[in-house]
Amino acid sequence: MRMDRIVLAGDLAGTMVFAAEGAMAAIGRGLDVFGVVVVACVVALGGGIIRDVLIGDTPPSAVRDWRYPALACLTGLALFAARHVLRPVPAWYPLAVLDAAGLSLFAVTGAEKALSRGLVPLGAALLGMVTAIGGGVMRDILVNRVPMVLVSDIYATAALAGALVVVAGHRLALPGRPVACAGAATCFGLRLLALHYGWHLPGATPPS
């Protein structure tokens, strides 16, 4: 029960911040109202749908529970309505923070839902990562560009680190809520620090 409520609260919060991030990115590219709502829904619901299909929990929450699509659509519509207010804001900084927040929330809820389904630890950590990056990868594939996950190195790594914290806490039988917070903080902090200081993983060739 406790675990379920953490998953639900994190999922809904992640849905809203990812929908906001997707909508702001779509507004920045001049899409119409439907495009903005579609991109908001893809980013917000894509990762959870992939997670639920992979663990066999179908239909996915995103279509079974009306709160997920309604929240994503309304967030997209609200930001579209407020687009003239948002435009002057330099886009990249709030986008990056929203994206890191969504990444952290979904990495944690993905790993927890996978654990509650009895997946092995490595599988649960990978599913947490996939839940976190899935929506963004689907968005990048739709708008026909190389997914950020392949060009920005401490992105999926941060999601994986957050999911690993959750998995480790579960193995050590630590209480669920502090572990979830620690996992989200690990992912969020690692992602923002990497952005701020320009951290990179060891590469096969120097970046050209």
Among the listed residues 3, 95, 117, 182, the single contact to its own copies using CB under 8 A: 117
Among the listed residues 9, 82, 89, 142, the single contact to its own copies using CB under 8 A: 142
Comparing CA positions, the residue from 202, 180, 173, 53 lying closest to residue 112 is 180
Report the greatest alpha carbon distance in the chain: 50
> Considering the complex, what minimum distance in angstroms separates the CB of residue 69 from its own copies?
6
**Of residues 4 and 32, the one with the C-beta less far from its own copies:** 32
Is residue 145 helix, strand or coil? coil
> Considering the complex, what minimum distance in angstroms separates the CB of residue 175 from its own copies?
26
**Of residues 38 and 100, the one with the C-beta less far from its own copies:** 38
**Of residues 175 and 203, the one with the C-beta less far from its own copies:** 203
Site residues (CB under 8 A) for its own copies, limited to 185-204: 200-204
Is residue 6 helix, strand or coil? helix
For residue 147, whether the previous peptide bond is cis, meaning omega lies within 30 degrees of 0, is no
> Considering the complex, what minimum distance in angstroms separates the CB of residue 178 from its own copies?
26
The answer to whether 192 touches 99, Cβ cutoff 8 Å, is no
> Considering the complex, what minimum distance in angstroms separates the CB of residue 112 from its own copies?
15
> Considering the complex, what minimum distance in angstroms separates the CB of residue 41 from its own copies?
8
**Of residues 60 and 189, the one with the C-beta less far from its own copies:** 60
What's the gap between Cα 139 and its chain centre? 12
Q: Is the dihedral of CA 31, 33, 37, 38 positive or negative?
A: negative
Q: Using CB atoms within 10 A of its CB, is residue 152 exposed (0-12), middle (13-18) or buried (19+)? A: middle
Select the span of 24-32, 102-110, 167-175, 182-190 touching its own copies (CB under 8 A): 24-32
Contact between 54 and its own copies per CB under 8 A: yes
Instruction: Give CA–CA dist 35/30, Å, rounded.
Output: 9
Among the listed residues 8, 77, 123, 189, the single contact to its own copies using CB under 8 A: 123
Contact between 137 and its own copies per CB under 8 A: yes
